A and B are shown apart, each in its own frame.
Chain A
Amino acid sequence: MAELLRLEQATIRFGGLTAVNAVDFAVNEGELCGLIGPNGAGKTTVFNLITGVYAPTSGRISFGGRDLRGLGVDDIVALGIARTFQNIRLFGSLSVIDNVRAACNLHRTTAPGHALLRLGAFRRDEAAIAARANELLEIFNLGRFRDAPARSLPYGEQRRLEIVRCLATRPRLLLLDEPAAGMNPTEKVELIRLIQQVRRQFNLSILLVEHSMRVVMGCCERIAVLDYGVKIAEGTPDQIRADPKVIEAYLGEDHGSSLAHH
């Protein structure tokens, strides 16, 4: 398996706080990985480092062999990394289809000026984008909400729409930040199915930050555990479950017992 994303000694300090400390981690082509850890362990910060929201204080992050240093958030998306947010961030006032269309901008074939001329090339481009957006919505069962403002959607559908919007950028790596937050057990089972469907159908790698052990253990092939910004373990779900350091990090919390149950 070819390596897609690589973090080498990735570190970021905010003043005196080292939020992520010398983390080494890699995601391979087509792999489904999990990133777990107690609250405040630095999981979302790792996402922010990968997506260019923060620049690492030291260390190196590369994607497909290319160093991401100095690239803007939008440049990194163009390279093929898309993400969702812990607290869903949709374009609330835009319709569901326009949320997806806005994300199709990376793959427009005509320049902005064509919007004024509206020649054949522009109309073909717009039609292709609309068709693609509609197709994505249908695949994820959101077609019936097509023209509704995104903010009017039920919570679960908003989560799904955020993933669909990511897919419209044609990513090679999808970063999901706590997709199971606020979901009940049935919805979580559905989510696991959805994540696996996305990986299969769109042929991409997924890195998942998640608190729900049911979801992480249920679908990840490899898991890394962060605690206080340091990677304390990495391995298959079975190895992670048995790792004494992981159990210790979670001890005293409910997560400790939920970890043992799976």
Chain B
Amino acid sequence: MPRPHVALLLSLVAAYGFSNFPGGLDPYLLDVLTGIGINIILAVSLNLVNGYTGQFSLGHAGFMSVGAYLSSAVSLFVAPKLVGELSAAGPVTQGAVFLAALVTGGFCAALAGLLVGVPSLRLRGDYLALVTLGFGEIIRVIFQNIEVLGGALGLNAIPASTSLVWVLAVAAVTVFVVHCLVESTYGRGFLATRDDEIAAAAVGLNPTRYKIVAFVVAAFFAGVAGGLYAHFKLTITPTGFDFTRSIEIVVMVILGGMGNAVGVILAAVLLTVLPEVLRPIAEYRMILYSLLLVLLMLLRPQGLFQFPARRPRG
């Protein structure tokens, strides 16, 4: 079996073992771990766009909200019609419904990614950042005005289907997919697009297509992360997915060192844990958090976990 598949299988088994920890996990710890898992999915998928493909998307929270809303809609409105009362159904049915909800959320987010990506990915750098920023705001306003989806109040009483094993399993799959895509001859095209679009076209690659693929794949996983988030928090509002949430994910990617898979995962862990660790200092928390970010950027602009490239041999 290929190495990435072995790693995926092992991490799925580990995720299962970990979430069935003997004696159960402390609820607070469970909360933090779930947050870490969701942030890993978000950061690793955004890394495909902002890191490997060298684009600058600020719309990840927007795609997350599409997934959150649509998967919740499946659980709340569609599933009861198909399988009846969810709490009365067996665990397999519940699992299948949840999987369907997550995948629906992911595909809707991917579709949104395609719609935003096709016209805007011809643009470069700052322009794309602005377009995706605009998208995030538009999607928020749209959800605020859809009465069926709760309007400004959002949705609540979403079934609590998210468990740690789901989150960790999806995180493992995200890491696997991004890794496999990038570590292939096809995937060299993402990196080539980042380094020099003109040169990429000159060796027969289509930079726009690569950017769209990266964008759509990332949006899919953001949507799934949104679904996991919704079924974990049990209530979602449009404002929960605003621009600052997108920034948070971008910071994880930058801090991890753009295009550095392990670094981005570590950064996602660090930035989820940091606000928790800083909780005792209450109102100074966000000040210190911001200060730490500024310091990290000044001291390690290449990313916290980025190390010098290998020297040429000979």
Interface residues of A, Cβ cutoff 8 Å to B: 51, 72-74, 77-78, 82-83, 85, 89-94, 98, 101-106, 108, 112, 114-116, 118, 122-123, 125-126, 129, 144-149, 152-153, 165-166, 168-169
Contacts and interface: CB of A to CB of B under 8 A. Distances in A.
Contact of A103 (B187, B191, B203, B310): B203
A236 B177 CA distance: 56
A88 B19 CA distance: 52
Interface of B: 2, 4-5, 177, 180-181, 183-189, 191-192, 194-196, 198-206, 213, 309-314
Contact of A89 (B180, B184, B189, B202): B202
Contact of A147 (B188, B191, B200, B313): B313
B185 A148 contact: no
Nearest to B310: A147
B205 A105 contact: yes
Contacts of B177: 116
Given A144-B313, A153-B312, A82 B192 contact: no
A115 B184 contact: yes
7 contacts: A101-B188, A108-B186, A112-B186, A116-B177, A129-B185, A146-B313, A152-B312
Nearest to B191: A94
A108 B4 CA distance: 21
A85 B202 CA distance: 9
A105 B204 contact: yes
A56 B66 CA distance: 44
Contacts of B194: 93
Contacts of B202: 51, 73, 77, 82-83, 85, 89
A144 B201 CA distance: 27
A160 B203 CA distance: 15
The 6 lowest CB-CB distance pairs between A and B, nearest first, are A148-B312, A144-B314, A115-B184, A77-B204, A103-B203, A102-B188
Contacts of A92: 195-196
A90 B188 CA distance: 13
Secondary structure type dominating chain A contacts: helix
Contact of B203 (A102, A125, A126, A147): A102
B186 A105 contact: yes
Nearest to B209: A74
Contacts of A72: 201, 206
B314 A105 contact: no
A166 B177 CA distance: 30
A165 B202 CA distance: 10
A144 B181 CA distance: 27
Contacts of A77: 201-204
B192 A118 contact: no
B312 A102 contact: no
Nearest to A103: B203
A123 B206 CA distance: 23
A98 to B, nearest CB: 6
B204 A126 contact: no
Residue of A92, A102, A118 with most chain B CB atoms under a 10 A cut-off: A102
Contacts of A89: 196, 198-199, 202
A90 B203 CA distance: 10
